[in-house]
Amino acid sequence: MPSSYKPYFQLQVSSLLAEFINNEVFPSLSLKISQQEFWQGFSILTRDLAKTNKHLLLERERLRDALNDWHTKNPGPITDLDHYKSYLRTIGYLQERPKSIEKILTAHIDHEMSLQAGPQLVVPISNARYALNAINARWGSLYDALYGSDVIEERSGLEKGDKYNVARGLEVVKYVRKFLDKVIPLDSQASHFAVDQYVVDAEGKLMAHLTAGNWVHLENPLALVGYQGAPDDPSGLLFKHNELHIQILINRHSAVGREDVSGVADVLVESALTTILDFEDSVSTVDAEDKVQAYRNWLGIVKGTLSVSMTKGDRSFHRSLNEDVFYTDARSKTLASLHGRSLLLIRNVGHLMTNPAILYQGDAGEWNEIPEGIMDAVVTSLIAVYDLQKNRDHPLRNSRCGSVYIVKPKMHGPEEVAFSCEIFRRVEGLLGLTENTLKIGIMDEERRTSLNLLACIEKAKYRVVFINTGFLDRTGDEIHTALCAGAVLRKGDMKHSDWIKAYELNNVASGLVSGFSKKAQIGKGMWAMPDLMALMMSTKIGQLKAGASTGWVPSPTAATLHALHYHEVDVFQQQDVLAEAISDLSIFDKYLDSLLQIPVLATPSWSQTEILEELNNNVQGILGYVVRWIDQGVGCSKVPDIYNVGLMEDRATLRISSQHIANWLRHGIVNREQVLQTFENMAKVVDEQNKMDMAYCPMAGHLSQSLAYQAALALVFEGEVETNGYTEPILHTYRLRHKNKVIG
């Protein structure tokens, strides 16, 4: 074996990873096993589980071939639904719906996942600064979020500009006061805008003095939870509404507070209740070097030592984990605290990819790359033991309930969910953890999972804490499934398909009948346009009305603004209403029928202008994302689309675009020469969009030497045969070639 690997039983472990685990993770970690026993157990676990992992991937291929065969013989939209369902059951793709639905039995779930509803951030674990910003986004400045976003329109006189705009600031204050009037109203129909002084009386009730000279109280006295400073001259007031907290900060000496009649310097809202630290779609971790960087950041977060210093212009910043928020309880007058950071989940990779950081020996003596999902489960859980060993009241503890939350993506059906649970069970045994310490979040983002979601939940009923709709990957899998059926709809039209509406409804309904309300999260997907916050505020509230207790947002600012929706809608009350409507389980049969309607046209009639427009959009998006992934190792970033609208792009959006072109190629909507010409044209567009990026490597004029460009072509022209249409295998291959300086 290469000298860069160290032997541990039937594993060969990269020296980088071995030294990290042995020298950085193990010291001061209290485990019932020695390092030697850990490596031995890891070796046995890997050999056992890798066999099942391989079997499940072969099963995916068998089902893909069976579906392609059926759609080739029965092209076009589904016309005989009963025949189609019968076939899917015969091949094992579709299971019968359970006659009765079991409630989940997960225990020890933190309040942020169960009794509170609010925004959820997803952040690449490989970027320490982004990770710290997301974790600290538990509390967000409403003043900053509104001032810096388009929620406050930049009409004449209200521009952001280079210096503070007093007029714009006043609009922000008006917006916030209206929000306070709505969620923590004063009695006598008084407005917070008319308050010039807040005090807390001897009974722990808020008294607000109005500019008109009279005193008023809160309409709901119990809305005041606590305060900071002296009760007759508080520096902070803490309120609760819909189980979410709001802080009014008072400082008459601050730049903002001295201009405010009541001295209010800022209003903080509880924003990102939970944050997913992502080891998957938003990162580029292709080898031991990359994986160790990601694992090291997770270790620093769990130990509370991760910090980042940076300079912007003439200012320097230092980021570390926020401490808890301390206040005086309004009624007991005792000191209390609230979480200062998001509750953290970690997203491991799925079952598909392998990684050269560890090699394991197969039955024939051959050396194979380890399934990356198995490696992630062991290493991230090992690191999480640091958190489990902290005292419950530790100021930087993540889970107060002693749980580790692992989001598991890209699982195809109940067998794969059961396999994830088996991985977690084996890891618990290895590390000496109590059974079901490792919780699972099920990403409902693959077609076979959607069709069998109730069975998937049942397989994880002792561990599941989360289901959500990842509509981007789900769309990619829908396109790949329909590859042989016909030309798929344009992407914009697909958003309005019957299947995607049923997909969203089925997910929430499955969670509610399985007992998720006030126990586990039901989530919705990402808002992908971080600059269009006004549009988000008018749109994303629909996810709450549909029954979601969390929704993904692309930035701390978006989390702060989206948090306002959870004050406007009582999610748990909404879930109670929705649950009454799904008491008849036959509704799932209706959802199933819609889910099975594949988005293809029998006779496409697009004009050449429409076809070119769609092709340009797809190709530009592919190149804009891939060039950063391959050349810079950036797994998720804001990429300008063909209209220069910044979109948060990750592998899920790439999967859609590449599969869409592959489908149109197969069915003759476009041809190879047309696609190649479009790629050449769009390379120039993407180069121009990135000309201010000093780290950017232009593609135009160097197409044959650009690994990023070649990877983008491969994603399209090899997309038909890639497992489930995933982009990871090609991206990893070309990124490794880039890191190893292999050109051509």
**Total domains present in the chain:** 3
Strand partners, 640: 646
> What is the model's pLDDT at position 319?
93
Question: Which residues, in sequence order, are CB contacts of 199 under 8 Å at separation 6+?
Answer: 206, 207, 209, 231, 232, 233, 234
Residue in this structure with the two tokens 């042995």, named with its chain if needed: 22
Q: Which residue of the set 60, 138, 177, 347 is catalytic? A: 347
Residue 28 has pLDDT above 90, yes or no: no
Q: In this predicted model, what pLDDT tens digit does every residue of 31-90 receive, in sequence order?
A: 989 999 999 999 999 999 999 999 999 999 999 999 999 999 999 999 999 999 999 999
Q: In this predicted model, what pLDDT tens digit does every residue of 459-516 receive, in sequence order?
A: 999 999 999 998 899 999 999 999 999 999 999 999 999 999 999 999 999 999 999 9
Identify whether 433 is part of a domain.
yes
Strand partners, 320: 307
Q: In this predicted model, what pLDDT tens digit does every residue of 555-588 receive, in sequence order?
A: 999 999 999 999 999 999 999 999 998 888 899 9
Residues 465 and 520 in one domain: yes
CA distance 385 to 393: 16
Question: Quick one: average pLDDT of 150-156?
Answer: 95
> What is the model's pLDDT at position 435?
98
Residues 248 and 363 in one domain: no
Q: In this predicted model, what pLDDT tens digit does every residue of 659-685 receive, in sequence order?
A: 999 999 999 999 999 999 999 999 999
Whether residue 120 contacts residue 275, with contact meaning beta carbons closer than 8 Å, is answered with yes
Q: In this predicted model, what pLDDT tens digit does every residue of 310-343 receive, in sequence order?
A: 887 778 889 999 999 999 999 999 999 999 999 9
Residues 650 and 503 in one domain: no
Q: Is 404 helix (H, G, I), strand (E, B) or coil?
A: strand
Residue 3 has pLDDT above 80, yes or no: no
Identify whether 261 is part of a domain.
yes
| Kind plus residue range of the DSSP H or E element containing 408 | strand 404-408
User: Which of 217, 241, 270 is the last residue in one of the domains?
Assistant: 270
Q: For the domain that residue 222 is a member of, what is the CATH number? A: 2.170.170.11
Predicted structure pTM score: 0.97
Structure tokens at 438: 């490792």
CA distance 601 to 657: 18
Whether 258 is catalytic is no
DSSP letters for 575-604: HHHHHHHT-STTHHHHHHHHHT---EESS-
Structure tokens at 206: 């808020």
Identify whether 243 is part of a domain.
yes
CA distance 407 to 464: 10
Whether residue 383 contacts residue 295, with contact meaning beta carbons closer than 8 Å, is answered with yes
Q: Which of 112-121, 177-186, 647-656 has the lowest mean pLDDT?
A: 647-656
Q: For the domain that residue 675 is a member of, what is the CATH number? A: 1.20.1220.12
| Kind plus residue range of the DSSP H or E element containing 264 | strand 264-270
Whether residue 247 contacts residue 267, with contact meaning beta carbons closer than 8 Å, is answered with yes
Among 410, 365, 404, CA closest to 384: 404
Question: Which residues, in sequence order, are CB contacts of 156 under 8 Å at separation 6+?
Answer: none
Phi, psi of 157 (to 5 degrees): 90, -10
Q: In this predicted model, what pLDDT tens digit does every residue of 259-268 receive, in sequence order?
A: 999 999 999 9
> What is the model's pLDDT at position 730?
97
> What is the model's pLDDT at position 744?
55
Residues 579 and 624 in one domain: no
Identify whether 130 is part of a domain.
no
Question: Quick one: average pLDDT of 609-628?
Answer: 96
> What is the model's pLDDT at position 648?
85
The DSSP call for residue 45 is H
Residues 652 and 679 in one domain: yes
Identify whether 145 is part of a domain.
yes
User: Which of 211, 240, 270 is the last residue in one of the domains?
Assistant: 270
Segment 164-169 long-range contacts (CB within 8 Å, at least 24 positions apart): 164/255, 166/259, 169/143, 169/256, 169/259
Residues 613 and 584 in one domain: no
Distances (CA, A) of 491 to 206, 312, 322, 659: 53, 39, 41, 11
The DSSP call for residue 389 is T
Question: Quick one: average pLDDT of 117-133?
Answer: 97
Q: Is 327 helix (H, G, I), strand (E, B) or coil?
A: strand
> What is the model's pLDDT at position 99?
81
pLDDT above 70 as % of the chain: 99
CA distance 160 to 178: 21
Identify whether 250 is part of a domain.
yes
Residues 91 and 164 in one domain: no
> What is the model's pLDDT at position 109?
98
Residues 163 and 96 in one domain: no
Question: Quick one: average pLDDT of 108-134?
Answer: 97
Residues 482 and 404 in one domain: yes
CA distance 568 to 372: 41
CA distance 491 to 613: 11
Pairing of strands 264-270, 139-141: antiparallel
The DSSP call for residue 722 is S
Among 151, 210, 218, 149, CA closest to 183: 218
> What is the model's pLDDT at position 1?
43
Residues 457 and 480 in one domain: yes
Strand partners, 648: 638
Pairing of strands 404-408, 343-347: parallel
Q: Which residue of the set 650, 651, 687, 735 is catalytic? A: 650
Residues 150 and 234 in one domain: yes
Whether 650 is catalytic is yes
Structure tokens at 7: 């032997």
Instruction: State the CB neighbour count (10 A cutoff) for residue 164.
Output: 11
Range of the domain at 477: 54-103+348-524+570-595
Q: In this predicted model, what pLDDT tens digit does every residue of 379-436 receive, in sequence order?
A: 999 999 999 999 877 889 999 999 999 999 999 999 999 999 999 999 999 999 999 9
Residue 2 has pLDDT above 60, yes or no: no
Q: For the domain that residue 425 is a member of, what is the CATH number? A: 3.20.20.360
User: Which of 578, 595, 612 is the last residue in one of the domains?
Assistant: 595
Q: How many residues does the chain have?
A: 744
Identify whether 293 is part of a domain.
no
- CA angle in degrees (0–180, nearest 5) for 381-390-297: 45
Over the chain, what is the mean pLDDT?
Answer: 96
Among 182, 244, 232, CA closest to 205: 232
Identify whether 238 is part of a domain.
yes
Residues 242 and 387 in one domain: no
